[in-house]
């Protein structure tokens, strides 16, 4: 019995000891709420159930006790007095759990033996929420800036805060991303507040990025702050100067200089540097207009940022110009034999070409007029072109001088009844042309480039030398031509062939057909010749044999001759 009881006691002690060791469970309670701390199942039918707690310094404090089928007697001090109770199955109910409640609770129950059951209590609290505070107004690219402060307030245990960009974790890399975490413990509640400050060096692609912070509590609950996006600012990286000008740009045009720079916010005011001479500051505009440009406007133009003069762009402006000066100009009068110096001065901004025309006919080079003659007279024009630009200048050359007869020709008409004399002369001003005989008709050609022709129709009755005389203010010229009598030839044609050859033969053909008429005409001429003055020329037209008609004819001939006179 003794042995048995001893053995039994040993067994109980052993099991009690065993239970004590094996039953150190951990119960997690939520801060502020009621926590049920279970005792061993075997305690359900215990005679006595008692709960104690570890005061922390090794001492134990009593909480409550219950005898079987009796009411709970709370024996705890002030701290627990109002917060503890016991369930029917001996679990300790602890309301308004606090962090200070954490620690070892012990359930002592007496069945046949006395057992102790230890429970480790842990009180957790999730943070109040996650919030980003002290947000940056804007983020400047490349400049590490405090993006914000994320706060997870009042938690236990302290939480770790993770920063997210577009829901992907940001890891501190000591360059662009720097995260500083601090944990503060409330001296009263013992709760931890975790603060995480994100120092962030933004990049261009962060413009629409969503930043947030999150945490996962030990209990497995996830918290994420609302997401924030930031204005990403960056200073100007590129600056460009645009020149808005007509093509080609010529004097009198307007030119707009337009400066464009990136950056956020983009710069709105600029300095324009005009050929390194002047600097113009333009506020709230990015253009500067140069009106009425001249050749002096050509040069280098720049624009730069007001606050960062090293950010600048430049462009060259070239104003095209083409000035020509032709000497002589207008109308020039020169005498034959003189020289005319032609001087074309071109002032151009680039390479140019010169084209010459005389009376709208292309010349292959600039004319060289060293010894003027009448054929040099005319309208000279030069055109100078440079790209799309072109200028023209011209002068009219009048070559003056005493007239010269170039040719004096005779030509017998087809019917052989009259001869046409042609006097070709050059001279300026227009020469007067006179003949030594009166023709039946005369015709004067146009006076072009100092050239003129004058024709008269004559019916020679005798071999004669005819003079053509031309004259103007500068002098005169005269030439003669021998004309043989048509009527001699008619007669002689019958006997022998004249040196006139083919033409005479043709005339003979006509004459033979009119043989009878010719005889009559010859007779009437005989009569007429005797009456008329010696050496004068009369027409043979419409002659008849009657003496009355002769008189009429004479009058008519006189009339015709007058008309024909030059």
Residues forming the site for ligand NAG (CB under 6 A)? 38-39, 41, 85, 87, 89, 91, 159-160, 218, 252, 292, 294, 373, 375-376, 437-438, 462-463, 465, 480-482, 484-485, 488, 536, 558, 561-562, 565
Kindly tell me which of 102 and 438 has the beta carbon lying closer to ligand NAG: 438
CA distance 287 to 307: 17
DSSP letter (8 states) at residue 226: P
**Structure tokens belonging to residue 361:** 């006919």
Kindly state the smallest distance separating residue 234's Cβ from ligand NAG, in Å: 33
CA distance 295 to 307: 32
Kindly state the smallest distance separating residue 500's Cβ from ligand NAG, in Å: 8
CA distance 324 to 327: 10
Q: What's the CA angle centered on 281, arms 277 and 287, to 5 degrees?
A: 100
Kindly state the smallest distance separating residue 95's Cβ from ligand NAG, in Å: 8
Kindly state the smallest distance separating residue 211's Cβ from ligand NAG, in Å: 20
Kindly state the smallest distance separating residue 34's Cβ from ligand NAG, in Å: 10
Return the SS3 of 88: coil
**Nearest residue to 139 (alpha-carbon basis) of 254, 233, 15:** 233
Kindly tell me which of 196 and 271 has the beta carbon lying closer to ligand NAG: 196
CA distance 254 to 293: 6
Q: Is the dihedral of CA 137, 138, 144, 147 positive or negative?
A: positive
Query: Please, which residues have CB within 8 angstroms of residue 323's CB and are 6 or more apart in sequence?
Result: 346, 347, 348, 391
Kindly tell me which of 117 and 211 has the beta carbon lying closer to ligand NAG: 117
Alpha helix (H) ranges present in 23-70?
Answer: none
Kindly state the smallest distance separating residue 489's Cβ from ligand NAG, in Å: 8
Kindly state the smallest distance separating residue 375's Cβ from ligand NAG, in Å: 5
CA distance 546 to 376: 57
Kindly state the smallest distance separating residue 284's Cβ from ligand NAG, in Å: 27
CA distance 363 to 366: 7
CA distance 201 to 189: 37
Query: Please, which residues have CB within 8 angstroms of residue 82's CB and are 6 or more apart in sequence?
Result: none
Kindly tell me which of 162 and 236 has the beta carbon lying closer to ligand NAG: 162
Kindly state the smallest distance separating residue 6's Cβ from ligand NAG, in Å: 32
Kindly state the smallest distance separating residue 535's Cβ from ligand NAG, in Å: 7
CA distance 32 to 40: 25
Kindly tell me which of 157 and 328 has the beta carbon lying closer to ligand NAG: 157
Kindly state the smallest distance separating residue 312's Cβ from ligand NAG, in Å: 28
**Nearest residue to 457 (alpha-carbon basis) of 478, 475, 483:** 483
| DSSP, residue by residue, 253-294 | --EEEEEEE--BSPP--EEEEETTTEEEEESS--EEEE-S--
**Nearest residue to 305 (alpha-carbon basis) of 275, 281, 287:** 281
Peptide bond into 29 cis (omega under 30): no
């Amino acid at each position: 019995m003794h042995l048995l009881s001893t053995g039994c006691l040993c067994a109980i002690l052993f099991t009690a000891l065993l239970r004590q060791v094996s039953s150190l469970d951990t119960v997690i309670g939520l801060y502020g709420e009621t926590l049920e701390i279970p005792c061993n199942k075997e305690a359900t039918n215990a005679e006595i159930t008692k709960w104690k707690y570890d005061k922390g310094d090794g001492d134990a404090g009593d909480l409550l006790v219950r005898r079987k089928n009796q009411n709970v007697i709370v024996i705890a001090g002030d701290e627990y007095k109002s917060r503890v109770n016991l369930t029917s199955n001996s679990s300790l109910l602890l309301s308004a759990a606090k962090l200070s409640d954490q620690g070892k609770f012990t359930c002592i129950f007496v069945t046949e033996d006395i057992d102790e059951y230890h429970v480790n209590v842990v009180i957790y609290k999730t943070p109040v929420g996650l919030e980003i505070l002290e947000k940056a107004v804007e983020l400047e690219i490349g400049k590490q800036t405090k993006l914000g402060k994320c706060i997870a307030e009042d938690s236990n245990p302290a939480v770790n805060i993770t920063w997210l960009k577009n829901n992907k974790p940001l890891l501190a890399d000591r360059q662009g991303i720097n995260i500083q975490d601090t944990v503060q413990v409330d001296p009263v509640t013992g709760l931890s507040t975790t603060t995480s400050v994100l120092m962030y060096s933004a990049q261009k692609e962060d413009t629409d990025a969503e930043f947030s912070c999150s945490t996962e509590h030990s209990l497995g609950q996830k918290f994420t702050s609302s997401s924030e996006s930031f204005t990403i600012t960056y200073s100007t990286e590129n600056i460009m100067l645009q020149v808005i000008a007509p093509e080609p740009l010529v004097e009198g045009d307007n030119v707009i200089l337009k400066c464009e720079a990136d950056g956020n916010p983009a710069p709105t005011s600029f300095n324009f540097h005009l050929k390194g001479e002047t600097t113009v500051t333009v506020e709230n505009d990015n253009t500067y207009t140069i009106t009425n440009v001249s050749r002096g406007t050509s040069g280098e133009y720049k624009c730069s940022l007001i606050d960062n003069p090293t950010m600048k762009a430049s462009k060259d402006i070239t104003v095209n110009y083409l000035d020509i000066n032709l000497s002589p100009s207008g109308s020039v009068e020169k005498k034959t034999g003189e020289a005319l110096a032609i001087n074309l001065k071109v002032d151009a901004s680039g390479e140019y070409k010169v084209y010459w025309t005389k009376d709208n006919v292309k010349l292959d080079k600039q004319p060289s007029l060293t010894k003027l003659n009448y054929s040099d007279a005319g309208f000279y024009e030069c055109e100078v072109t440079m790209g799309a630009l072109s200028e023209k200048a011209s002068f009219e050359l009048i070559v003056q001088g005493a007239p010269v007869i170039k040719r004096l020709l005779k030509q017998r008409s087809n019917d052989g009844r009259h001869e046409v004399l042609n006097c070709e002369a050059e001279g300026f001003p227009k020469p007067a042309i006179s003949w030594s005989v009166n023709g039946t008709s005369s015709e004067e050609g146009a006076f072009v480039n100092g050239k003129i022709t004058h024709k008269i129709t004559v019916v020679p009755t005798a071999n004669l030398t005819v003079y053509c005389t031309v004259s103007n203010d500068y002098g005169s010229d005269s030439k003669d031509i021998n004309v043989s009598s048509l009527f001699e030839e008619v007669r002689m044609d019958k006997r022998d062939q004249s040196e006139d050859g083919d033409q005479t033969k043709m005339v003979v053909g006509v004459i033979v057909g009119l043989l009878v008429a010719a005889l009559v005409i010859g007779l009437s001429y005989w009569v007429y010749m005797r009456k008329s003055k010696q050496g004068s020329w009369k027409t043979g037209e419409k002659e008849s044999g009657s003496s009355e008609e002769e008189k009429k004819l004479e009058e008519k001939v006189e009339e015709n001759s007058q008309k024909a006179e030059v």
